[in-house]
Structure 1
Amino acid sequence: MHATLDDLPREILLLIIAYALSFGSVPSNILCVNHQFHNAGVEWLYRNLYFRSPEQLRLFAQMGENAGVVLRSVTVDLTGKFTRSDVWQHLREALCRCRDRAERLGQGQKQIPLEVLCLRLHSYSRDTSHHVFEEALSVANPRVFRWTGPDPDHHFSTAIVAPIASRLCRIFGTWSNVQDITVTNITFSVDSDNSVMPLLPEIPGLRTLYLGQATFLSAGSVAAVFCVNRMASLERVRLVDTYCESIWGSRIRRSDIEKAVQIIMFPQDVVQYEGVLSRIRKILTCEKKTERIIGGDRVEGSVFLV
């Protein structure tokens, strides 16, 4: 007797279908195999929304259905796509549509609880889109948030402009579920007046923070996260290829953060100062990942910057 795909346990079948839907050149083909594949595939599609173009996002916002399943993750991957600032309007409408469906099913919440919210796209600095950006992300309440640039890892580029970066950090404070934040290809404001303002608001449940390819990141704002905001759940902070100015300047090192802590706290509270330093040395690492061919802050040997 020969085993067929229909004989596979549902858990394994879902893994196969998920892979085909995520990486197949024509993802919908697998839905045509039989009724079992179609039903399982449709359930997975609507549980894990994946948008690869602004048009997909727009169409879902206008007419998408949820097939009666609970939304688990949302990914917007616009790698290689030309996009406009109205992508935030479409994302807001899509998430609001999902939230409204949940309300009709008696699961009404102001925010949609998600396992993962993943973005791979450029932001835009046009003033009229800023409030729409905030409204779009405020509809969600993810446990894991990732926003990376759409360019290859070795290509140092800015995907998140400074006006959006400041708003993004504020939005983090509205997410009660968030535990893991990864943000790369970001530039912060050059405004030195905010150098000792915490980079993030108080986020009680945050466990890990990864910042990569960041420019104009203030060491003082990172230090203030430890000095002002306690965030007892925080277990790991990684600053990878982060610069206090442009990429032609110096990478941020852990010693820069420690000096900033001294400026903020010492000598007013020596005991607390020592405790903050100890915690920083335990959970924060500054690292180099992408090396320039010529110029810039070149690091030889260890990837850790102390």
Structure 2
Amino acid sequence: MSSLPPEILYEVLDYSLNLQKPPVVALITTCSVFRDICLRILYSALHFKSRAQLSLFVTTYSDPELSTPCRPRSVELDITSDESNLVFTDLYALFSRCLSGKADDVERDETGRICLDLLRLCLNSHAFDPHIDMIYTSLSLINPRRFIWIGPDPPHHFSIAIVPQAISYLFRALSEHTNLTELKLTHINMSRVLSQNDSGLPAIPSLRSLYLGQAIFLHPFVVASLILNPSMSLEKVHLVDAYRGSIWGFRLRRSDIELYVTESLMQYPPETHKMLAPFGDTNNANLATIRKVVVCEARTERIMGGDRVEENAILI
């Protein structure tokens, strides 16, 4: 097999490593060709499935004499343990000590932050985490092109992974990610977003695709103000099982966003209401933009109660 073209061999080994059959060690120790390709695959796409793995990696590569075999292009975390509240402290160490300035081919933006193709988090944040500010501190060290934060529970479990206390730190970091084109957030409680401290979803001029899933307390204003912000060029906003209130209320529909924009413009002219300035003056143009960009979908149904719709229904 080592005589195969490198491109084909890369795909075969990548598939085998994901299956973990045979074991990773067996693949790496087969021959030098396999070893080199496997190390490139493993280190270019770092994937940690426990905090113990992440902590061990941080401990190992914090040594200034050691460096990773190649530049990491993506970082993925799947952590479901009770120690997930310490993950962002480990991430800070990962980005500041392990990946910072060790490899010659590390891609950086104009401010020196590490550029990643993807950062994917599958973990919970915690309302009473004394170090919750580490969300911003760690994420401010990178500039990813795609950012995903989803909950670790199965789809039919309506749980909250991104708690209200984490919102301001997360959104502050995202607002500084100038490379970001795709953003996906699920299992998120938006109840604080219209408070004095959290004014709404962050305006990211580079963003093209936004996905919000299993979001609660998502006000139509939050969606409309982002889409119609003059600095934004969103091509798609996908809202899946997004609720205006709790999960026992109604899902957010596209018509809710359209109605809010129309009524707000009638009652509060943009020139006299700062919060409505993004809506502009042309109602028809704003509605056309919303209809072009927004897709609201009902995907996961409860056994009983709540907003009952057909499976995978598009909510107009």
Q: Provide TM-score, normalisation by structure 1.
A: 0.89
Q: What amino acid is aligned across from residue 213 of structure 1 in structure 2?
A: Q
User: What's the CA shift for 1:85?
Assistant: 1.4
Could you say which residue in structure 2 is the equivalent of 1:78?
A: 79
C-alpha distance 154-272 of structure 1, shift in aligned 2 (>3 A): same
C-alpha distance 237-49 of structure 1, shift in aligned 2 (>3 A): same
Aligned length: 299
C-alpha distance 193-120 of structure 1, shift in aligned 2 (>3 A): closer
Q: Deviations over 1:154-177 (max 9, x none)?
A: 222111111112322222111011
- Aligned-residue sequence identity (percent) comes to 37
Equivalent position to 1:273, from 277, 283, 294 = 283
Could you say which residue in structure 1 is the equivalent of 2:296?
A: 286
Q: Distance in 1 between matches of 2:154 and 2:167?
A: 21
User: What's the CA shift for 1:196?
Assistant: 10
Could you say which residue in structure 2 is the equivalent of 1:170?
A: 172
Could you say which residue in structure 1 is the equivalent of 2:14?
A: 18
5+ unaligned residues in a row in structure 1: which ranges? none
SS in structure 2 at match of 1:157: coil
Please give the root-mean-square deviation of Cα atoms over the aligned residues, in Å.
2.4
Q: Distance in 2 between matches of 1:66 and 1:278?
A: 51
Q: Distance in 1 between matches of 2:311 and 2:59?
A: 53
C-alpha distance 92-291 of structure 1, shift in aligned 2 (>3 A): same
Q: Which has the larger displacement, 168-177 or 278-287? A: 168-177
Matched, 1:112 2:114: yes
Q: Which has the larger displacement, 110-119 or 24-33? A: 24-33
Residue pairs, 1:201-216, within 5 angstroms? 201-216=202-217
Q: What amino acid is aligned across from residue 54 of structure 1 in structure 2?
A: R
Q: Which has the larger displacement, 232-241 or 188-197? A: 188-197
Could you say which residue in structure 2 is the equivalent of 1:38?
A: 35
C-alpha distance 253-196 of structure 1, shift in aligned 2 (>3 A): farther
Native 8 Å contact 2:254 2:296 kept in 1: yes
Q: Which has the larger displacement, 23-32 or 142-151? A: 23-32
Could you say which residue in structure 1 is the equivalent of 2:256?
A: 256
Q: Deviations over 1:83-132 (max 9, x none)?
A: 24111101110111244234877866531100111111111122521221
C-alpha distance 239-132 of structure 1, shift in aligned 2 (>3 A): same
C-alpha distance 200-191 of structure 1, shift in aligned 2 (>3 A): closer
Q: Distance in 1 between matches of 2:136 and 2:281?
A: 39
Native 8 Å contact 2:167 2:198 kept in 1: no
Native 8 Å contact 1:99 1:111 kept in 2: no
Residue pairs, 1:117-132, within 5 angstroms? 117-132=119-134
Could you say which residue in structure 1 is the equivalent of 2:150?
A: 148
User: What's the CA shift for 1:53?
Assistant: 0.7
